[in-house]
A and B are shown apart, each in its own frame.
Chain A
Amino acid sequence: MDPTKGVVTYGFHGMADSENVLLQSMIERISRRLPAPVARVPARDAQLVFFDDAAPRPDGITGRLVRVVRDMDAQRFSGGLRMPPHVTDLLDIFAEFVEQETYAETGCGVMKSLVRSLHDLFQAGGAPHALVDGDGAGLILYPADRQFSWSGPDDERLLPEWFQSHRLRGLDLRPWAASTNQQHRKRRGIEPVFWHMGLAHARCGLLPWVGRDDALKMRAWPYLAGQGPAGAIRLATALRARPQNVAALADAARVPEAEAVAFANAALLCGFVVPAIPTETYAERGEANTRGADPGPVDATRWPRLLGAIRSALGISA
């Protein structure tokens, strides 16, 4: 479907009728400013589903979920809608949706192919390759050592740019033969490249070899989490607590699923996260639960209040 030519359908789940009416009227009022015509349909058939953050996760819905958050102080975040609704949020939500759907039609084939090629190359520990863009700038990749270097001047700030849609089609992966003046370039771990590639791949969903229902397990702390997505630390702490799939992870970390997908992609490519063997999901944490006889100073029911009090004393917002 090309949403720039077709109609973007939307629906509601778990919200009050009055809120549905309010949102629908706002969407109709701003429809001329939207990048595509819109139509309300039942949630089950909708491409975009606004759903109550407090309601159970909807079943049988295949469209993209937009959490409705009732928090006046909430910041605008990707994939969410603050109530009462802001016109700018609604415009952003529809514009992002159309952009992502258009990108999925045109750019995801290239992205998925590139990710697969690089993943396979590093899994095999093959010979050095160059990843070159249309302007001739490039990354030299050393799969056997899990390292890379820049073919031109070093500039870490450029990494997030490398896998953006406007550059993707010009990227070419080819074997690389070291020239004398390039052999002494500073090499570094490949993880920052993979991290940013994983984040960019989120626009195309999870990595091709990972299923939406696959439980993921943290193997090593993702020390690159500071480079995004915004909720990466929350996602890391939630996944560290237990293996889970991306939908459950997004719920546990209270972030939009798109952020959980971006985090999972990046961490999977870097090897910080691995698919969990089904039996690990509960068994591992069971060990932690039963260790030690000291019950500690805190009754379990006091945890939320206690953690809140410590945060407050330290000036940390939850």
Chain B
Amino acid sequence: MSGELKLLFAGAMGAGKTTAIRAISEIAPITTEATNGDFTECDKEETTVAMDYGEITLPTGEKLRLYGTPGQARFGFMWPILAAGALGVVILIDNSRPDPLADLELYIDAFRALADAGAVIVGVGHMESCPRPSLEAYAERLAALDVVVPVMPADARRHSDVVGMLEILLQQIEATWAYDEVMGGVSACGLMGANS
């Protein structure tokens, strides 16, 4: 193997990254939480200040590593480091935040290369209590950014929602891989060149 297999969970503070990793990791997630000193962004008592980590053992014996990125924008310098070589990114958006569409733009911009390669999915949380912006608004904002990635409602606390997002993400990766195969075996760069 030439590198680690990893999936990222990105999103603003409180969007559910740690919860999503907990939903599917076979080990108790290793978190680096600290008392939240930034109540302007989120009123959580504790938040992830570096990253979360979980893992899943594949039938091949390899480990699929799950990383949760720190949510605060000031840690944005870490996002491309984590994204390098990632299989894909699950971007979690909290619809109860003041400007979820701005959050979307921030994270799409950060993971643009993976988005263009079809290795990003967007899950929107708290849609039942905060139905606006609608999925239509998300799809249109993404189209305006010239990005086409799946966007769906998702509750990170539900195992089935998290797995459902990963299922679609894998389908996208597979579809892109199949296409790149036809086009001459350039898939490795197409799917994995995660450096932005």
Contact = CB atoms under 8 A, between A and B. Distances in A.
Interface of A: 189, 191, 218-223, 233-234, 236-238, 240-242, 252, 272, 282, 285-300, 303, 305-307, 309-316
29 contacts: A219-B143, A220-B148, A221-B139, A236-B150, A237-B171, A237-B172, A237-B174, A240-B118, A240-B172, A240-B175, A241-B176, A252-B178, A287-B116, A291-B117, A292-B113, A292-B189, A294-B84, A294-B195, A298-B192, A299-B2, A300-B187, A303-B177, A305-B60, A306-B60, A309-B58, A310-B56, A311-B170, A312-B59, A316-B167
Interface string B165-196: 01110111111111111010111111111110
| Most chain A beta-carbon neighbours within 10 Å: one of B59, B177, B190 | B190
B139 A220 contact: yes
B3 A296 contact: yes
Given A240-B172, A252-B178, A296-B3, A314 B193 contact: no
Nearest to B135: A223
A271 to B, nearest CB: 9
Contact of B58 (A223, A238, A294, A313): A313
Interface of B: 1-6, 24, 56-60, 62, 64, 84-85, 87, 113, 116-118, 134-136, 138-140, 142-143, 148-152, 163, 166-168, 170-181, 183, 185-195
A119 to B, nearest CB: 19
B190 to A, nearest CB: 4
Given A221-B151, A240-B148, A299-B2, A189 B136 contact: yes
Given A236-B150, A299-B188, A294 B179 contact: no
A191 B116 CA distance: 25
B81 to A, nearest CB: 12
A252 B149 CA distance: 18
Given A223-B135, A289-B189, A291-B193, A241 B151 contact: no
B180 A289 contact: yes
A290 B187 CA distance: 9
Contacts of B178: 241, 252
A307 B163 contact: no
A53 B140 CA distance: 37
Nearest to B61: A309
B14 to A, nearest CB: 23
Nearest to A286: B183
B55 to A, nearest CB: 10
Contacts of A282: 183
Contact of B187 (A221, A223, A291, A303): A303
A310 B177 CA distance: 15
| Most chain B beta-carbon neighbours within 10 Å: one of A189, A272, A297, A307 | A297
A263 to B, nearest CB: 14
A314 B62 contact: no
A6 B195 CA distance: 63
A309 B139 CA distance: 31
Contacts of B5: 297-298, 306
Contacts of A299: 2, 188
Contacts of A295: 2, 188-189, 192-193
Nearest to B137: A189
Contact of B148 (A221, A287, A292): A221
B174 A291 contact: no
B175 A310 contact: no
Contact of A238 (B3, B148, B163, B175): B175
A248 to B, nearest CB: 10
| Most chain B beta-carbon neighbours within 10 Å: one of A252, A309, A312 | A309
